[in-house]
Structure 1
Amino acid sequence: MRSDAQSARRAQRTFVWLWALATVAKILVAARLPLFVDEAFYWQEGRHLAAAYSDLPGLTAWLARLGTSLGGEHVLALRAPFLMLTALLPWLVAHIGARWFGETAGWRAGSLAVLMPLSGTLGLLALPDVPMLFATVLCLDAGARLLRGVDATSAAELALGLVIGALSHYRFIGVIGIGFVALLLIPEGRRVLRDPRIWIALAMGIAAWAPLISWNLENADAGLRFQLVDRHPWSFQWGGLWFLLVQALLVTPLLFLALMQVFWRSLRGGEGVSPQWRYFGLLGGVSTVGYFLLGFFADAERVSFHWPLPGYLPLLIGVPALLCAWPALWRRLLWLSAGLGLLVLLGYYVAVSVPAWRAQWAASKFYPYNFAGWNELADAVREERAKLPPDTRLLADNFKVGAELGFALGDPDIAVLDHPLNRKHGRAPQLRLWGLESGGSRSAPALLVVGSSDVQYKHLLQRYHWLCDAVGPLPAPSRVVNVDHGSQRFLLFALPAGKVSGPCTAPAMAWIDTPVSGARIEGAVGIKGWAFKDGVGLNRVEILLDGRPLAAARYGLPAPGVATYWKISNDPNHPSVGFEARVDASTLPVGTHWLGLRLRGRDGSVEDWPEQPVRIGD
């Protein structure tokens, strides 16, 4: 008995230290991590308070508004309510585990909730998964208590969890459905469902969906169609295997194995498996397997690695009891790998928040576009607006630019043009309801902010021509904002009042054919490629190295394949839009450098093109 008490005290001290250190670390990271684009839009929704929105129920926006109302327009204030909720989660997990598996197992379950990378980093971003997971744990606790006996307190806790979940996300419907199935599979659960107090709690939970149902009825089911139909291909894709691998890495492999063992034991049942164990295992396991199967058919373009988290926490509660049968070495490796996994994921967010480190990912598929460049863009917009007439209005190319600039400038009403991204992320209906979707016409001067890196390069010229149709021929950019060697790129255009007619004039387009990105070069090197500028053409192309002029290219070489590919291009120089230059790499410093272009248009425009890495020497 004395040994059990000592073990419990050690487990408690370990939990408190881990929780305190992780919480402090998360606050420090959240204070400097750039605003993620979805967070910016939730902030914007919070400045237009409503019961529900096109993408989500209202709670996420309400929490964002609460944070900034109390703490000011700062990223940490925006994230503060979400950090507070996630700080409570490990304590709730520990409380649940202690009730059913003993005090020591409870504190260890809480420690695992701190260390598991997915749950340990939750709350760094102001996302709806935070209140949804909090609601899931409340329902989990209430369900386990109800299996022992129905009482008013447990029913009230269930009702509270159902209400919070309904106000958090459409995906909480899955948590409700799986919880209902788990109760039906357990004899004690079927008894619970016969109690009228449970149905009163369920009725309160159902009522909480009313704002979202009402919004969809008033808006032709736009939100429901986006969440269930538009964003998913609903066809088999082998990428689901990659989803499984990512999950094992984000949970950490040994902990992932332990979670699956808890599920397997709940399916087998038998002596020593309590109703609560079966409930936790079935609720978590069925949910997790369901998301794994969904990964083969659902949206693979947007971030979805956090989706199975509501299934992991119920399984996590049973892990400490399961580990008693593991060899000591493997137990230690599990704890060590979970802690290292948390440090790696926190390190990723730290790297994202440090511009010099983030720039190392430029030109790679791991570059964090949705975190990068917003502060630099806001500074450029402030400087350009200071040069323009006082009545100049901001006009954003897409919802990302509009929301991020809105937060930085304290303006939640920046007009936004139609854009594929607005529809792809389910934000177009909401922008229309706010009256912020602009067709491009204007009665006053405007500063148009275009995110050129938000469009696939093969579609970029088409987007420029769409902009010409919407706002008129584009003048020379007043500013080109290249962030992290141009991996994130914005163009600013000062537009006059009223739409000007005429042939489409667009920003320059270019490509370096040789050397390719990442190539090793030495000696005399030929730099070849093509460049054009619709409407007016280019008269000069300069080669840049690390942002400084290196050589003047010979421009106007035949490149007939360019016009063949870019069929809508109206550059008067076609087909003579190729360029070539020769440089002596032996005179350049050894190491990695960034090769770029400076494109000078006949209209006086000067545009620096995104850079690509090259390696000089060994």
Structure 2
Amino acid sequence: MGGMDYSRSTFSIDRAKRLFWGAFALILILKLFVASRLPPFVDEVFYWQEGQHPALAYSDLPGLTAWLNRLGVELGGNLAISMRLPFLLVAAAVPFLVMRITRREIGIREAWIAGTFALLLPLAGTLGIMALPDVLLAIATLLCVDAGSRLLRNVDELAALELAAGLIIGGLSHYRFAAVIVFGFLALLLIPEGRRALRDMRVLVAVAMGAAAWIPLIWWNVDHADAGLRFQLVDRHPWSFHADGISFLGIQGAFVTPLLFIAFLATAWRHRNDADPQKRYFALLGGLVIVGFFVLGFFADTERVSFHWPLPGYLALLPLLPGMLDAIKPFWRRAIWITSSIGVLVMLGYYVAVSVPRIREQAAATKMYANNFAGWDSLADHVRTELAHMPKGSRILADNFKIGSELGFALSDPNIQVLDHELNRRHGRAPQLAIWRVLQVRPQLSAQQPYLLVVGASDVQLKHLPQRLHQLCDILGPLPAPIVHNVDHGAQRFLLFRLNGPAGTGPCVTPAMAWLDAPLSRQVVSAGETVPLKGWAFKDGVGLRSVQVLWNGKPMDARVTYGSANPSPKAQWPISNDPNHPNVGFEGQFRVPPAARKGTAWLGLRLIGTDGSVEDWSELPLQVR
């Protein structure tokens, strides 16, 4: 692509057409490949679980995403690619809708270019890889954009029907579609032809049909004390000014690609007062959506992913983008083509990397680690093995909704019991779990109903982990020795407990915790070098007997003395009841194996409890030179 001249004089219709079909075929093949290999994302499998409990609406979403997910697995089996295939097919229609709008309002050549950028825009080009509502929101947005532009010219039944279809799909997809509705109608109100269209009875009927699509969601909230609305509009947002909103510009520049992001903003500004009502409509709708989410970022939730929210704005601006490209210098035009192509390939490459265990493992202990994709298959295998050694009829008890949904998908069981957890509430899933009657605030343990408790230790920040473990003690009594399942060197860490009888009594016994003060993460060491070792470790209720050192998962000969004074853990977690406090420190040294290969090696700790428990802690990366 980099060698072409994309000026209007040389970038012919035929060349634009060939470029579109080449990009469409390449990206579709890559998306199918990635979707068939990428481990299920947490949200995807919760929508799968919703689809297994058919309803008109749910605590976090209207019903359409779950219904489409259910359709996929009904047709193709309980596989990740099956639940994603309907979304891939719907996403494939996005560039064609963009081309349809652009061809009618701008021109044939521009339509092919706009369609190509619907593929090269990373947020749009990767749609469908995961079974998420953004695919449906994109289609709903484009149907409304298409209908709105037609209504500006002439109100007819087909345009009104298309508007109704877009509003219905959007209303059945996500609360977030309300932004498209608000800014879409505002854009129409700002244009004389739009105000005329909105007075037409056929348009009003279409609006009424679209409004009816929200009835299931409204009814759900009426039935459940507005739990969904409270989460979406109140609980998840601080609604107080914070400067983090300025990061919107950098984040959007990264995910849209910097030059294309600037081009979109310039396009909206260029046509904001355009004499052509259709062009003005595209500019106002797209610009208002982008600016609206930018302003919202200064007051709204910053903990959860929101970089994809402005996508409807970019889709609305795509028909105008070819004209903007024609108006700038060839150098910048080529740069936009090249950087956009690189951007979508990089995002697709990221998903490929996440789907390859060896690459994902290398990202462990870094901020790039994709924990929501990692370890679910191996956890399911481990759970199957443990259940095979437990009494017949043993059930799974999941620590939180993430584990319950992921194991449910892997084991084809949408009714895995889930404990009360902050994550359930933080993601707005607790009300839905309660409706399905899988939420266990205080499960009744008995010898007649054994449970395999699966806890996500890495789902809680280390500073909050002792509190969560003590909460489990309050619910289940002293915990038996855990079966530790570390994924990617412990970046994803699970603890499995066999609960074979009534809750016990006595001091709270929890899994062990540890910390290394030396060596440091990524510290450079040499083969044969002697390296100092220092840190702390404790195990509430019973204490530790010793600490062993692991090199790449295997025990090594190391001198480690456990029991030195270290008051900091008890000071940080007064709740801790390890009988050894404050003597929970350890120190010593180990020798890097003389035959150690250059590159990354993993240093681990094996914690031996006085009760005989053996627990491997998360590993630390070292660089062998």
Query: Common fold, TM-score beyond 0.5?
Result: yes
Quote the offset at 1:75 in angstroms.
0.2
2:442 pairs with 1:442: no
2:196 pairs with 1:188: no
Quote the offset at 1:520 in angstroms.
2.1
Question: Pairwise mapping of residues 102-181 of structure 1 onto structure 2 (< 5 A)?
Answer: 102-181=107-186
Question: Pairwise mapping of residues 212-291 of structure 1 onto structure 2 (< 5 A)?
Answer: 212-269=217-274, 273-291=275-293
Greater shift, 288-297 or 179-188, is seen at 288-297
> Paired residue for 1:94, among 99, 105, 128?
99
Whole-Å Cα distance in 2 between the matches of residues 129 and 386 of structure 1? 39
Quote the offset at 1:583 in angstroms.
2.1
2:566 pairs with 1:563: no
Quote the offset at 1:13 in angstroms.
2.0
Whole-Å Cα distance in 1 between the matches of residues 259 and 576 of structure 2? 55
Q: What's the counterpart of residue 547 of structure 2?
A: 541
Q: What's the counterpart of residue 581 of structure 1?
A: 588
Contact 2:273 2:280 in 1 (8 A): no
Task: Find the residue that maps to 2:84 and give its secondary structure.
Answer: helix
2:607 pairs with 1:603: no
Greater shift, 62-71 or 518-527, is seen at 518-527
Q: What's the counterpart of residue 532 of structure 1?
A: 538
Q: Which amino acid aligns with 1:176?
A: I
Quote the offset at 1:5 in angstroms.
12
Greater shift, 274-283 or 519-528, is seen at 519-528
Q: What's the counterpart of residue 497 of structure 1?
A: 501
Q: What's the counterpart of residue 5 of structure 2?
A: none
Q: Could you report, residue by residue, the CA deviation over 1:476-495 in whole angstroms, capped at 9, with x for unpaired residues? A: 01x21111110000000000
Whole-Å Cα distance in 2 between the matches of residues 56 and 146 of structure 1? 30
2:485 pairs with 1:481: yes
Greater shift, 582-591 or 83-92, is seen at 582-591
Question: Pairwise mapping of residues 342-491 of structure 1 onto structure 2 (< 5 A)?
Answer: 342-438=344-440, 439-443=442-446, 444-477=449-482, 479-491=483-495
Q: What's the counterpart of residue 515 of structure 1?
A: 519
Contact 1:441 1:470 in 2 (8 A): no
Task: Find the residue that maps to 2:520 and give its secondary structure.
Answer: coil
Q: What's the counterpart of residue 13 of structure 2?
A: 8
Q: Which amino acid aligns with 2:413?
A: D
Q: Which amino acid aligns with 1:583?
A: F
Q: Which amino acid aligns with 2:363?
A: W
Quote the offset at 1:65 in angstroms.
0.3
Quote the offset at 1:586 in angstroms.
7.7
Quote the offset at 1:552 in angstroms.
4.6
Greater shift, 416-425 or 299-308, is seen at 299-308
Contact 2:565 2:585 in 1 (8 A): yes
Distance 1:456 1:5, change over 3 A: closer
Identity %: 59
Distance 1:263 1:102, change over 3 A: same
Aligned residues: 611
Greater shift, 291-300 or 390-399, is seen at 291-300
Whole-Å Cα distance in 2 between the matches of residues 83 and 10 of structure 1? 26
Question: Pairwise mapping of residues 30-49 of structure 1 onto structure 2 (< 5 A)?
Answer: 30-49=35-54
Q: Which amino acid aligns with 1:509?
A: M
Task: Find the residue that maps to 2:517 and give its secondary structure.
Answer: strand
Whole-Å Cα distance in 2 between the matches of residues 13 and 164 of structure 1? 32
Q: Which amino acid aligns with 2:551?
A: L
Q: Which amino acid aligns with 2:330?
A: A
Task: Find the residue that maps to 2:259 and give its secondary structure.
Answer: helix
Greater shift, 396-405 or 522-531, is seen at 522-531
Whole-Å Cα distance in 1 between the matches of residues 586 and 419 of structure 2? 34
> Paired residue for 2:333, among 317, 322, 331?
331
Greater shift, 232-241 or 41-50, is seen at 232-241
Task: Find the residue that maps to 1:388 and give its secondary structure.
Answer: coil
Task: Find the residue that maps to 2:78 and give its secondary structure.
Answer: coil
Q: Alignment RMSD, CA only?
A: 1.4
Q: What's the counterpart of residue 56 of structure 2?
A: 51
Whole-Å Cα distance in 2 between the matches of residues 537 and 595 of structure 1? 23
Whole-Å Cα distance in 2 between the matches of residues 387 and 16 of structure 1? 54
For structure 1, list consecutive stretches of 5 or more residues without a partner in the other structure. none
Contact 2:87 2:130 in 1 (8 A): yes
Whole-Å Cα distance in 1 between the matches of residues 317 and 11 of structure 2? 26
Q: Could you report, residue by residue, the CA deviation over 1:25-83 in whole angstroms, capped at 9, with x for unpaired residues? A: 10110000000000010000000000000001000100100000001000000111111
2:602 pairs with 1:594: yes
Quote the offset at 1:591 in angstroms.
3.1
Quote the offset at 1:4 in angstroms.
9.4
Q: Could you report, residue by residue, the CA deviation over 1:437-474 in whole angstroms, capped at 9, with x for unpaired residues? A: 01232341100000000001001001000001111111
Task: Find the residue that maps to 2:151 and give its secondary structure.
Answer: helix
Distance 1:591 1:323, change over 3 A: closer
Q: Could you report, residue by residue, the CA deviation over 1:373-414 in whole angstroms, capped at 9, with x for unpaired residues? A: 101100000000000001211100000000000000000000
Q: Could you report, residue by residue, the CA deviation over 1:255-296 in whole angstroms, capped at 9, with x for unpaired residues? A: 112111111012243xxx411100000000000011111112
Q: Which amino acid aligns with 1:608?
A: D
Contact 2:559 2:590 in 1 (8 A): no
Whole-Å Cα distance in 2 between the matches of residues 541 and 329 of structure 1? 62
Q: What's the counterpart of residue 612 of structure 1?
A: 620
Whole-Å Cα distance in 1 between the matches of residues 284 and 394 of structure 2? 59
Whole-Å Cα distance in 1 between the matches of residues 363 and 131 of structure 2? 24
TM-score, structure 1 length as denominator?
0.97
Whole-Å Cα distance in 2 between the matches of residues 455 and 61 of structure 1? 28
> Paired residue for 2:560, among 549, 553, 560?
553
